[in-house]
Amino acid sequence: MSPIFDLTGKCALVTGSSQGIGFALSRGLAEHGATVVLNGRTESKLEEAASTLRSDGLEVKIAVFDVTDPEAVRKAVARIESEVGPIDILINNAGMQYRAPLEDFPEEEWSRLMRTNVDSVFYVGKAVAKGMIARGTGRIINIASVQAELARPGIAPYTATKGAVRNLTRGMSTDWAKHGIRVNALAPGYFKTPLNKALVEDPQFTEWLEKRTPAGRWGQVEELVGTAVFLSSEAASFLTGQTIFVDGGLSSSV
């Protein structure tokens, strides 16, 4: 591996990483040398994910906490830094989806989307940044979405959350670049994940997506790893405040 992409000796916290995109990114960082801390709310799922990665010889820990609870976040970050090591890389991946016509969208689901997709990025980012500021270095990657740029019927609130993540990324980078912290967003297009299970299983949607996307297919989560490793490494030493779309060309075409 080129030294510029080597993450050996780095500690990475990946939220929402027991499955899907978070799990794939955790594997990718670990394969490039990082010690990865998996996060989620269900210990059994995290243990299963960690066991899978450890069976491949990768260095993995787990941290069970709710990213929407600011006090739990502060305690967990302190515990990780005490027991595992200073957090060099944070990937804010935890997220959820809820689909309904906007005029019928339940208020409680709006609030839950905001807590999970936006508040968590603020809570975890803030808690981790304090240590990064003291050390004068750090990398934060917020997982946005192609929906930070585009809208689709039935998911207007989700679109709002990902637009917020994109702008929060800009704000974080503006405040923290002077402390040696690089903050960028990775915006996936349509990938085969548990979050998209209903769409993946819908033949009509898949047909539409394949026609609409220049690459002509769904993305595979492993195709996000290269961008995440790049943003986590010294190869991106002067890159901050940016949102990189990994979407098969979807956001670039009409």
List active site positions: 158
In single-letter form, the type of residue at position 205 comes to: F
The answer to whether the Cα torsion of 94, 99, 101, 107 is positive or negative is: negative
Can you list the positions of beta strands (E) in 69-116?
Answer: 89-92
Tell me the HSE value of 76 on the side-chain side, using a 13 A CA sphere.
25
- Provide the phi-psi class of 155: left if phi over 0, else alpha when psi is between -120 and 50, else beta: alpha
Helix axes 225-232, 20-31, angle to 10 degrees: 50
In single-letter form, the type of residue at position 77 comes to: V
- The whole-angstrom separation of Cα 76 and Cα 124 is 10
- CA 28 to chain centroid, in Å, comes to 13
* Helix ranges, 84-154 (H): 107-114, 120-135
Query: Residues 49, 36: contact at Cβ < 8 Å?
Result: no
